[in-house]
Structure 1
Amino acid sequence: MVFNIYVLLNWLIPSILAAIGMMLSSNIIKHNLEFKHAIIIALAANIVPSIAFMFLNSYFIGIPFGFVLLDLLCWIALTFLIMSDIEVIDRIKIAILGFGITQVLLFVLPWILELI
C-alpha cells in the first residue's frame, strides 16, 4: 500500500480548521477552549467514526445517512467529555459547528487538492 499525502491532508486540514472554528466559537461564549483540546476533539471526531463504522457497519447500514449520524454523535460526545464546564446548549452548538465545518471541508477539499 502506497502512502498518499493527499489522504493525510484530507483529514488533517478539516480537523485543524474545525478546531480553529471551535476555538473562535468558544471565545464568543466566554469559554476559551485551548487549541490542544480543540484539536483532540476534531481529530478524534474525524477518525473514531471511520473506525467504529467498520465494526458497526451492519447496525448502521439500514439507517439513511448512518455514518453522518455516527459522526455527529461522536462530535457531541467528545464535546461533552472535554468541555464539561459550560452549558449543555453551548456544547451542542460548538459540536454542530465543528461537525459542519468538517463535513463541508471533507466534501470540497478533494476538489481543491486536485487543482493544486
Structure 2
Amino acid sequence: MASSTRTVHRPTLGVSSTEARLWLVAVGALLGDLLLTYYGIAHAGLSEGNPLAASVLAGHGYAGLAAMKVAAFAVAAGGRQVVPPAYRWIAPICLAVPWLLAVTVNTALILGTL
C-alpha cells in the first residue's frame, strides 16, 4: 500500500512584526481617543470638534462613535489586503496618526480645564 504525504497550508495574515506593532499603536490610539473624548465631553465640558463624529455622537451616543471608529479600523484592515505586502504598514499609520493627534489635543484640552 502506498502512502502519500499531504502538506496542509494554513492561511496567514502575513503581518510583519513591525506592522503588528503599528496595528497595536493604532488600537491604543483608537482607545485613547474614545476614552479621552468621553471624559472630555462628559466630565470636562468639552464638545466634539469633528462635525461627522459630533453628528454620530448626537444621534447614536458613544456606542455610535465607537462603531464609527471600529468601522474605520475594519476598512483599513481590509484594505491592507489589496496592497503589496511591502506597503501594508501604511494602513495602521493612516489610522494611528490622526488618532494620536486627537489624543494629544484631547489631553491638552482636558488638562486646560483642570
User: Quick check: TM above 0.5?
Assistant: no
Bigger RCO of structures 1 and 2 (CA < 8 A, at least 6 apart)? 2
TM-score (norm 1): 0.30
TM-score (norm 2): 0.31
Larger Rg: 2
* Greater fraction of residues in helix: 1
